[in-house]
A and B are shown apart, each in its own frame.
Chain A
């Protein structure tokens, strides 16, 4: 099975190198999509051995992820791992997420940061709970950690996934895709490594509201 890791990155020059190095151990290709960064994200990712694609303007995590997925498809891979560039996800969890895909018991595997003992601040748990509820309202499908960027797409999902949402709403759109195409899903407990940096980088409340409105608007307009 040929596997690619897709890492959307925006101004992650200090962290993306480590993520690429670690992810390389488990996959055949690492694709970093530099989403209009103003720092040296692209150069560092390239030196670490990733295929680097650059958005000339910042489009959002969803658009960057879809660019990476399109690139992986052109490379003819069978499975795609998506993970964040800020060292929040541990690439050591990739084999566990790949397991149901390799065993052909799931078409998509969602990482579940709440499935094991992780030190997650209350405000993060609350925000993710709200995200789960909005995702359920828009898609009718319940996923325990719908807003986590760490996922593995199996062959069927690789062929069918088509994300149109550019920003953080793309996580909800992936759940919608799973419901629409009736993908078999698996939810695998995974580590989350919060640092001061990743906690500070999180979405603001206003941004969360905007994301929620976009999700509801888009699901109504389809």
Chain B
């Protein structure tokens, strides 16, 4: 069985991602459950990379066989990725704003803590 560069690089990246997820579990930054979900996700990508014929059924199901359909699906995937990236950035900005508001609120604590 001959492997293409893609079939070597993708599993390597996948294994690194899985190892990183379990490393986070040992450092108590990720739960075991989240690491399992992450492992299933990257495991599927590795499986598809090593056994691309496993996607044949998808081709039959979706009808994506020719080049035009493939371009359309790829464009949609890129647009979805951009939307996903923007959601993540907005989340990060919201969290930063919340941290500022919370810090301002906590400044009042010293003035009141003796009252109760």
Q: Which residues of A contact B (CB under 8 A)?
A: 28-30, 33, 49-57, 59-60, 63, 66-67, 70-71, 74-75, 138-141, 164, 166, 176, 179-181, 217-222
Contacts known (A140-B33, A222-B34); A56 close to B101, Cβ less than 8 A: yes
Is there an interface contact between B31 and A67, defined as CB atoms closer than 8 Å? no
In angstroms, Cα B104 to Cα A59, docked, is 13
Question: Of the candidates B37, B87, B112, which one forms a contact with A217 in the assembled complex, judged by CB atoms under 8 Å apart?
Answer: B87
A166 CB, nearest partner CB in chain B, Å: 5
Residues 99-116 of B at the A interface (beta carbon under 8 Å): 101-102, 104-106, 108-109, 112-113, 115-116
Q: How far is the CA of A28 from the CA of B114 in the complex (A)?
A: 12
Assembly CA distance A33 to B91 (angstroms): 22
The reply to whether A53 and B116 form a contact with Cβ atoms under 8 Å apart is no
Closest to B88 in A: A221
Q: In the assembly, what is the distance between CA of A181 and CA of B31, in Å?
A: 9
Contact A166 B109 (CB under 8 A): no
Closest residue to B116 on the A side, CB-wise?
A29
Once bound together, how far apart are the Cα atoms of A164 and B38, in whole Å? 20
Q: Report chain B residues within 8 Å CB of A51.
A: 109, 112-113, 115-116
Q: Which of B57-96 contact A (CB under 8 A)?
A: 87-88, 91, 94-95
